[in-house]
């Protein structure tokens, strides 16, 4: 189905482009959300008559989104989640969770998250406030507020925990080996 775009759409094109899309995409998304018109002669003439108004409105919306985004760009949000010893979450952090945490005018559809976040740590997430305005925020997923502060400072909490566990295990092994050595020496002296 051929449509004429009324705003910039990701990989499709910009305002005024006539593109071919699948009929379901046009019927279910582009046309109901008034992002495009069917590319008929009447609609093309209507678009050309309104082109300047549409471009001005788009520029105004982009400027407003850029202004709104200045306060959000580069901010960091802490999300406390339960996780295992290896740092893998019991569940995940989705686009909806990120949108709820940021709040304000940010909706789930604005959050560009390739895959849900499934591990502890810092993740950079893109927020598309307008087709032409994209900002980045940092999501700090941790098990506690203290851990979040340590992660923010650049500490690898999971690696430090693994190092601590390894050190404790090595100390326990050394202690057991010392006890076994003493037992062996005592056993030799008893057998003589």
Are residues 141 and 97 in contact, defined by beta-carbon separation less than 8 angstroms? no
% the chain with pLDDT above 90: 32
Q: Please indicate, yes or no, whether residues 61 and 128 belong to a single structural domain of this protein.
A: no
Radius of gyration of the chain from its Cα atoms, rounded to whole angstroms: 29
Q: Is 11 left (phi over 0), alpha (psi -120 to 50) or beta?
A: alpha
Q: Please indicate, yes or no, whether residues 81 and 136 belong to a single structural domain of this protein.
A: yes
CATH number, domain containing residue 43: 3.40.5.10
Q: Please indicate, yes or no, whether residues 27 and 92 belong to a single structural domain of this protein.
A: no
For residues 55 and 8, give the distance between their C-alpha atoms in angstroms, rounded to a whole number: 10
| The last residue of a domain, from among 70, 101, 127 | 70
Both structure tokens of 60: 């105004």
| The last residue of a domain, from among 54, 70, 86 | 70
Q: Please indicate, yes or no, whether residues 51 and 102 belong to a single structural domain of this protein.
A: no
Give how many domains the chain has, as a whole number.
3
Q: Please indicate, yes or no, whether residues 32 and 10 belong to a single structural domain of this protein.
A: yes
Q: Select the more confidently predicted residue: 72 or 189.
A: 72
Q: Please indicate, yes or no, whether residues 119 and 103 belong to a single structural domain of this protein.
A: yes
Predicted TM-score of the model (pTM): 0.70
Both structure tokens of 146: 């203290």
For residues 156 and 136, give the distance between their C-alpha atoms in angstroms, rounded to a whole number: 22
pLDDT at residue 126, rounded to an integer: 93
Are residues 133 and 66 in contact, defined by beta-carbon separation less than 8 angstroms? yes
- Write out pLDDT tens, residues 78-122: 999 998 888 889 999 999 999 999 988 888 988 999 889 999 989
Structural domain that includes position 43: 2-70
Element spanning 97, H or E:
helix 95-102
CATH number, domain containing residue 93: 3.10.430.100
At residue 133, φ and ψ (nearest 5 deg) are -125, 115
Q: Please indicate, yes or no, whether residues 86 and 150 belong to a single structural domain of this protein.
A: yes
pLDDT at residue 100, rounded to an integer: 93
Q: Please indicate, yes or no, whether residues 165 and 184 belong to a single structural domain of this protein.
A: yes
Q: Please indicate, yes or no, whether residues 140 and 160 belong to a single structural domain of this protein.
A: no
| The last residue of a domain, from among 20, 52, 70 | 70
Q: Please indicate, yes or no, whether residues 93 and 140 belong to a single structural domain of this protein.
A: yes
Task: Tell me the average pLDDT of the chain.
Answer: 86
């Amino acid at each position: 189905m051929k449509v004429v775009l009324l705003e910039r759409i990701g990989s499709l094109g910009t305002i005024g482009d006539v593109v071919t899309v699948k009929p379901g995409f046009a019927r279910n998304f582009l046309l109901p959300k008034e992002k495009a018109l069917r590319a008929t002669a009447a609609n093309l003439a209507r678009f050309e008559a309104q082109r300047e108004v549409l471009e001005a409105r788009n520029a105004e919306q982009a400027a407003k989104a850029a202004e709104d985004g200045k306060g959000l760009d580069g901010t960091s949000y802490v999300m406390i989640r339960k996780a295992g010893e290896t740092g893998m979450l019991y569940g995940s952090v989705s686009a909806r969770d990120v949108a709820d945490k940021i709040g304000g005018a940010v909706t789930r559809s604005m959050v560009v998250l390739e895959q849900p976040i499934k591990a502890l740590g810092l993740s950079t997430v893109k927020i598309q406030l307008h087709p032409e305005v994209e900002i980045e925020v940092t999501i700090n997923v941790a098990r506690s507020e203290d851990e979040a502060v340590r992660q923010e400072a650049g500490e690898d909490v999971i690696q430090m925990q693994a190092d601590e566990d390894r050190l404790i295990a090595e100390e326990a092994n050394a202690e057991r080996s010392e006890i076994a050595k003493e037992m062996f020496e005592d056993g030799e002296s008893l057998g003589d």
